[in-house]
């Protein structure tokens, strides 16, 4: 059985562009996005790494560390970094794992033989401070990731961890949320949601985002 939501993200030690990296120790008490790339010096990956570098402030604000992976070696990664920085107009500010032996790719099931038996797919793992896998997204090699969606996902996870709410379709930070169905006590609801709520149905109750 592969990794599932709620599983502990496997620990590993692997070389990276910032030296040897022991994953759990490096992650510390931060959230992490671990995201894989099919190969160095490929066009879509180059734009993705540049985009994540430009979003560092957004990730820092949410307490998130970024960690990329490709099956090429550190020397290749460092040469590629020059291209990324020149073409994307930003300094790379997070490590890229060198996974030539496929150790991490296999631990995280990033190689899908029916897609390609040597290259990693575009996997994304969102990992919380307890090292639990909270979300996964997998894209084909041909499709670049939407990092605005990944930030939105992290916002939702962090909000719903601390309040008795869920986020509806297309929710963005600041929009109304829904009260979880398990919460039924009127007194508890009134205390938790002093701004009130709109019960469209008994099970569909919208309320202003509680941490705003």
As annotated, the active-site residues are 45
Structure tokens at 200: 């469209």
- Closest by CA position to 14, among listed 93, 101, 124: 101
Q: Which DSSP state fits 19?
A: S
Q: Which residues 6+ apart lie within 8 Å of 82 measured at CB?
A: none
User: Using CA atoms, how far apart are residues 88 and 95, in angstroms rounded to an integer?
Assistant: 17
Residue pair 121/38 in contact (Cβ under 8 Å)? The answer is yes
User: Using CA atoms, how far apart are residues 8 and 79, in angstroms rounded to an integer?
Assistant: 33
Length of the chain: 212
Angle between helices 43-54 and 147-162 (to 10 degrees): 40
Task: State the maximum Cα–Cα separation within the chain, in Å, rounded to a whole number.
Answer: 61
């Amino acid at each position: 059985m592969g990794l599932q939501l709620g599983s502990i993200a496997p620990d590993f030690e692997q070389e990276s562009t910032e030296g040897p990296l022991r994953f759990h120790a490096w992650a510390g008490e931060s959230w992490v996005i671990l995201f894989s790339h099919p190969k160095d010096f490929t066009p879509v990956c180059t734009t993705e790494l540049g985009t994540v570098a430009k979003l560092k402030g957004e990730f820092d604000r949410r307490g998130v560390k970024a960690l990329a992976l490709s099956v090429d070696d550190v020397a290749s990664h460092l040469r590629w970094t020059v291209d990324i920085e020149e073409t994307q107009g930003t300094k790379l500010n997070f490590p890229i794992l060198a996974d030539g032996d496929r150790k991490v790719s296999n631990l995280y099931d990033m190689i899908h033989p029916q897609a390609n038996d040597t290259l990693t797919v575009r996997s994304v793992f969102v990992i919380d401070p307890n090292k639990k896998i909270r979300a996964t997204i997998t894209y084909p090699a041909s499709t670049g990731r939407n990092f605005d969606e990944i930030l939105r996902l992290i916002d939702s996870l962090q909000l719903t961890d601390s309040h008795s709410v869920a986020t509806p379709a297309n929710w963005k930070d600041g929009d109304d949320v829904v009260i979880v169905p398990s919460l039924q006590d009127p007194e508890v609801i009134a205390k938790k949601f002093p701004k009130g709520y709109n019960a469209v149905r008994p099970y569909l109750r919208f309320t202003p985002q509680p941490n705003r």
